[in-house]
Amino acid sequence: MQKKLLASLITLSLTSFAAHAEITWYGFLSAGVESVKASGNGDFKKDVPGTGRVTDQGSRLGVKGSTKVDDDVTVYGQIETSLRGFDQAGTNDKGESATLASRNSFVGIGGGFGKIELGQKDSAYKALTDIGLDIMSNTTASNHGSSNTFSRGDARLKNSVHYLAPNLSGLDLGLSYGFDEARTLATDGSRQKNDRFSLAGKYKTGDLQLAAGYDRQGSKNDSGNTTKELNSTAYTKLVASYALPGGTFIGAGFEQAKMDYATGKDPKQTFTTVALGQTLGKTTIRASYTTMGALKNARSGQEGDYKAKQWVIGATYDIYKQTQLYAYATKIKNEKSQNANLGNPVYDTALGTSSASLTKGNDPQAFGAGIRYTF
């Protein structure tokens, strides 16, 4: 009887919630067939020979809902799941499986004061500075991410709180803070603190977009001294884009990473990217070129050994508003101490395990085509 009563109460609660909330399912399925390879490190045993593969290109599934509390306040939430490699039954090349709420999943409240959100979500640095410079995002040819050639300060923060201010004449401002709830035990018996702070702003007027961001990840123990020689890593980014008449798009970005060490000089590295696009009816042609500069004050090896560069060309064709065909080609040239990778990485070591990696000095490249269905 108690079980029946509980089931009835749950059903009644869900029915009542659904009656007052707007619930939406969304997502997309995207897969490509491509050829990838990597070589150049000097050891042919670590080369990846030309290999054909079918690859999941960022597929995801989400549900979101909102309830208007009164005229000024709305409560909302979202659960979003990466489908990982749905082409491999939900397991990617690192052996990671698709799990519920692996992407942006949070609860929030919004009103005239802005938005406050709690959960797992892209940092302000990542969300607000994404203005289209990643011309083939969610594909193997993507160049944005912590292991890619640009926007290396991007992060999705667990255990985090976010604030987005109300839009003011085209200006959006946001900040994020990710707590370190693990507080790993250091060798000296203290607890490590590895939190993350992110601040960014984006301004849009007509066809012009400008954005800037700052992100810092620290690593200190309870006494304020470092548990590692490296105290923190900070990223600063400036990006701009403009849509010209006739369907032409141009954009450029600058990013700098600076590592704060307990002793000695602090290494820093700059990244630059330029992007172009041209829309002709249902077709858009895109190209970009990205560089990773020398690692100034490198702690090991020569500064120039950490350089890399990447070119990307691609095209999309909109069959229908929900369906898109795309094609791309890209190559990364890594110097001997660098291993920047593709959007869908290629690995030459420990493939299929969490330790999968690309040998430093290997140059990954790919070309392929795919289809994306959005729902």
Res 98: pLDDT: 86
pLDDT-derived band at 254 (thresholds 50, 70, 90) equals very high
Q: Where along the chain do its domains lie?
A: 24-374
Q: Which residue has the tokens 């203005």?
A: 131
Kindly give the pairing relationship between strand 196-205 and strand 171-178. antiparallel
pLDDT digits (tens, 9 = 90+) for 50-64: 999 999 999 999 999
Segments of the chain assigned E as strands: 22-39, 48-56, 60-68, 74-82, 105-111, 114-122, 156-164, 171-178, 192-193, 196-205, 208-218, 220-221, 230-244, 248-261, 268-280, 283-292, 308-320, 323-334, 363-374
d(CA 104, CA 352): 25
d(CA 232, CA 192): 12
Of 3.40.630.30, 2.40.160.10, 3.40.630.10, 2.60.130.10, which CATH number belongs to 24-374?
Answer: 2.40.160.10
Q: Which two tokens stand for residue 180?
A: 């370190």
Res 84: pLDDT: 85
Summarize the confidence of residues 322-349 as an average pLDDT.
96
pLDDT-derived band at 181 (thresholds 50, 70, 90) equals confident
The better pLDDT of the pair 117, 262 is held by: 117
Q: Which residue has the tokens 């994020």?
A: 176
Pick from 108-112, 181-185, 328-332, 364-368: least confident = 181-185
Tell me: pLDDT of 277 over 60. yes
**Average pLDDT, rounded, for the chain:** 90
Tell me: pLDDT of 188 over 70. no
Res 284: pLDDT: 98
Kindly give the pairing relationship between strand 105-111 and strand 22-39. unpaired
For 305, left (φ over 0), alpha (ψ -120 to 50), or beta? Answer: alpha
- Nearest CA to 155 out of 93, 235, 239 is that of 235
pLDDT digits (tens, 9 = 90+) for 200-240: 999 999 999 999 999 999 876 554 444 457 788 999 999 99
Tell me: pLDDT of 71 over 90. no
Pick from 80-84, 103-107, 368-372: least confident = 80-84
170 in Cβ contact with 164 (< 8 Å): no
